[in-house]
Structures are given as C-alpha cells and as structure tokens.
C-alpha cells in the first residue's frame, strides 16, 4: 500500500509540473504574440484583423500607385505628341504662307522681282499690290498712279488720275505746255545735252518741243485729232486724256533746234540718231520704237523719249524691247 501511495504522489507531482510548464508556455507565447487585435482578452476578432487593415493597405499600395504612374506616362506621351504635332503644323503653315506670298504678286513683300543688269526693280512703299506682270514684276497702285517694278506707267491700260499734277509743277491752264521735266529727269536731260554738244560740236542740237501737258491740255489735243482724223486713227498717235506720258512730267517730244514740226525724218538727223543710240546713258528710252505698235499701242515716234532712270534705261535698251515687252504688260484701252 505504501508503495502505491508513493507512486500516485509522484505522478501527481509530475502532472502538476507539466501543468505549470504548460501554463508558462502559454503565457510566453501569448506575450510573444503581442496585444490582442480584437481589443479584449478573449477571442481574437479575426474579421477586424484580416479585412479592414489589409484591404486599405492593398488599395493604397497596389492600385493607386500604379494608376498614378500610368496616368503620368500617358499624359507625358500625349503632351510630347501634341508638342511635336504643333511644331510640325506651325512650321508647315509658315513655310506654305511664305511660298504662297512669294508666288503671288499681291503681291506681298516677299515677291522676288527679276533683276536685269544693274537695274533692281523696287517695291513702292505704301502702295497697294495688284498682282504681277507676265515677266514677274510687281504691279502696284498708289494715289491713283500705277507702278510696275517701281516704274511709273501711263499707257492705254494704266491711266493717270485726271487731277494728277507732278510735284513742283504749277496748276496748269487749258493750253499750258511746260518744257521741263521732274528734277531727276531734268538733270538727266541737261547732262544729255552737254554730252551731245561735246560729241557733236557742229550740230544744231536738240530741244524740248513738248514736255509736261496737263489733263486739260491733252483733252483738247485729243479731241481735235479725233475730230479731224476719226477716233480710231487718233488713238494710234495721240493718247486719250489721262493716258498720256506727258502728264507724268517724265516724258517729252524732242526735236532738232530750229525745227517746229515733229516728223519721222528726225530719225535720219544727227540729233535723232544720237538720241536713239545714247539717250539710255542718261536715263531715257525711245518710248515708241519702230515695229512695236502692237505692243505700245502707238505708231513709231522717233521724237518721244521717256525718263525711267539710268539703270532701267540701260536694261531696256540692251534688251531691244519696248517698255511694255520688257515689263510684261499690255497697252490696250478697256473697251478695245
């Protein structure tokens, strides 16, 4: 009996020790796990632990960040494409505009006009661009005056205003004819007379027989010619009012000193021959050359000279063309 009792005591002690050990293990493990997420000392709330916190964490770390990154990449790509496209379109538009401007005559400021020899055509500042001639010269209008390549034009196609009076000329009376030019033309004419006399000391010399004519004077002259010869015939040798170069102050009928009638025979005189061959040196051209009536609109007039400047006159003379041919314009009355 004594032995049995001792064995039971030992077993009980062992079990108690195991129980204490188990309790210690449980306490240690509990402490190692930290505070209870459930907020109490009882059963852990696994729902609160596994849903709200992990879901929020995943939502912030795995979805928004990648979406933000993708959005930035796409935006950058779109902006880059847009910038490049805009740059390309802008460049293309500018290029097209420049080319269009150069091809028109409105001629815009970028129109390139042909340069002939030392003559460089100009663009009249403040003038309205109307187009380009068949030779590529800018046609402009300013204050009612027409310019082609910067040269003032007065012919059957390009009239002058009825009230146009060259600067420095007096308001004319009906029959007033002034034997002088505008300053630049006058300087060229004076130089030309000196040169002729130096080269032809025994010749009679030449004079201005009919220089500036007003609109009113031209009206009287043309009406008289039309009444005497018929309008069609008058149109071949006399300009209608507003279409005469004499009104510009840049043209004149030049005759031999001592002669009062303008005749084609002047072409055979020393003066006539010299003028035809040398007037360009001083800025003048024989305005209505022989064989060019279909271009100028007038018969051959070996006495009619027009000042256009030395460089332009040389270019026209050396071309062998009349002014209309050289500039690429016509000379036809509107109803013709």
pLDDT digits (tens, 9 = 90+) for 169-220: 877 655 666 788 999 999 999 999 999 999 999 999 999 999 999 999 999 9
CB 153 within 8 A of CB 330: no
Separation in Å, CA 154 to CA 66, 293, 331: 79, 16, 9
Say how far apart CA 251 and CA 9 lie, in whole Å.
154
In which band, very low, low, confident or very high, does the pLDDT at 76 lie, cut at 50, 70 and 90? very low
Which residues lie closer than 8 Å to 17 by C-beta, 6 or more apart?
none
- Please report the pLDDT score of residue 110 as a whole number: 66
Residues of the chain by 3-state class (helix, strand, coil), percent to 5: 50, 15, 35
- Please report the pLDDT score of residue 238 as a whole number: 98
Return mean pLDDT, the chain. 79
In which band, very low, low, confident or very high, does the pLDDT at 313 lie, cut at 50, 70 and 90? very high
Identify the CA nearest to 149 among candidates 177, 170, 121.
Answer: 121
- Please report the pLDDT score of residue 38 as a whole number: 40
Tokens of 64: 């928004």
Q: What is the mean pLDDT of residues 283-299?
A: 98
Q: Which of 271, 301, 324, 325 is catalytic?
A: 301
In which band, very low, low, confident or very high, does the pLDDT at 9 lie, cut at 50, 70 and 90? confident
pLDDT of 5 over the 70 cut: no
Say how far apart CA 176 and CA 110 lie, in whole Å.
43
Query: Class for domain 156-327, per CATH?
Result: alpha beta
Question: Exposed e or buried b for every residue in 115-139, given b needs 16+ CB within 10 A?
Answer: ebeebebebbeebebbebbebebbb
- Tell me, yes or no, if 301 is annotated catalytic: yes
pLDDT in tens, 16-41: 777 767 776 666 566 655 444 443 33
Say how far apart CA 146 and CA 329 lie, in whole Å.
12
- Please report the pLDDT score of residue 172 as a whole number: 65
Our CA dihedral for 72, 73, 77, 78, rounded to 10 degrees, sits at -40
The percent of residues above 90 in pLDDT, for the chain, comes to 62
Reported in sequence order, the residue ranges of 54-176 that DSSP labels E, i.e. its strands, are 128-132, 138-142, 145-148, 151-153
The percent of residues above 70 in pLDDT, for the chain, comes to 69
Say how far apart CA 260 and CA 253 lie, in whole Å.
11
- pTM, 2 dp: 0.68
Question: Exposed e or buried b for every residue in 185-220, given b needs 16+ CB within 10 A?
Answer: bbebbeebbeebeeeeeeeeebbbbbbbbbbebbbe
Q: CA triplet 159, 190, 167: central angle to 5 degrees?
A: 40
pLDDT in tens, 89-101: 333 333 333 333 3
pLDDT of 11 over the 80 cut: no
């Amino acid at each position: 009996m004594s032995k049995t009792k001792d064995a039971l005591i030992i077993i009980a002690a062992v079990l108690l020790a195991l129980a204490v050990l188990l309790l210690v293990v449980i306490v240690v493990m509990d402490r190692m796990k930290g505070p209870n997420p459930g907020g109490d000392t009882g059963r852990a709330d696994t729902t609160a632990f596994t849903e709200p916190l992990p879901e929020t964490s995943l939502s912030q770390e795995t979805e928004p960040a990648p979406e933000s990154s993708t959005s930035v990449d796409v935006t950058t790509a779109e902006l880059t494409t847009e910038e490049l496209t805009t740059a390309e379109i802008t460049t293309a538009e500018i290029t097209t505009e420049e080319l269009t401007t150069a091809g028109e005559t409105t001629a815009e400021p970028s129109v390139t006009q042909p340069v002939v020899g030392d003559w460089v055509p100009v663009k009249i500042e403040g003038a309205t661009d109307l187009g380009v001639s068949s030779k590529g010269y800018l046609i402009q209008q300013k204050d009612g005056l027409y310019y082609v390549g910067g040269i003032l034009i007065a012919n059957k196609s390009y009239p002058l205003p009825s009230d146009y009076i060259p600067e420095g000329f007096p308001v004319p009376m009906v029959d007033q004819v002034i034997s002088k030019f505008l300053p630049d033309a006058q300087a060229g004419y004076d130089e030309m007379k000196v040169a002729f006399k130096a080269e032809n000391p025994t010749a009679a010399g030449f004079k201005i027989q009919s220089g500036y004519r007003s609109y009113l004077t031209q009206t009287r002259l043309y009406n008289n010619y039309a009444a005497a010869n018929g309008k069609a015939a008058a149109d071949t040798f006399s300009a209608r009012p507003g279409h005469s170069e004499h009104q510009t102050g840049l043209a004149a009928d030049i005759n031999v000193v001592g002669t009062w009638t303008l005749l084609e025979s002047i072409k055979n005189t020393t003066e006539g021959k010299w003028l035809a061959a040398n007037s360009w040196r001083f800025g003048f051209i024989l305005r209505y050359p022989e064989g060019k009536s279909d271009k100028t609109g007038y018969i051959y007039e070996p006495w009619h000279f027009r000042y256009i400047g030395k460089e332009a006159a040389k270019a026209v003379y050396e071309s062998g063309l009349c002014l209309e041919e050289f500039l690429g314009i016509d000379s036809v009355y509107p109803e013709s």
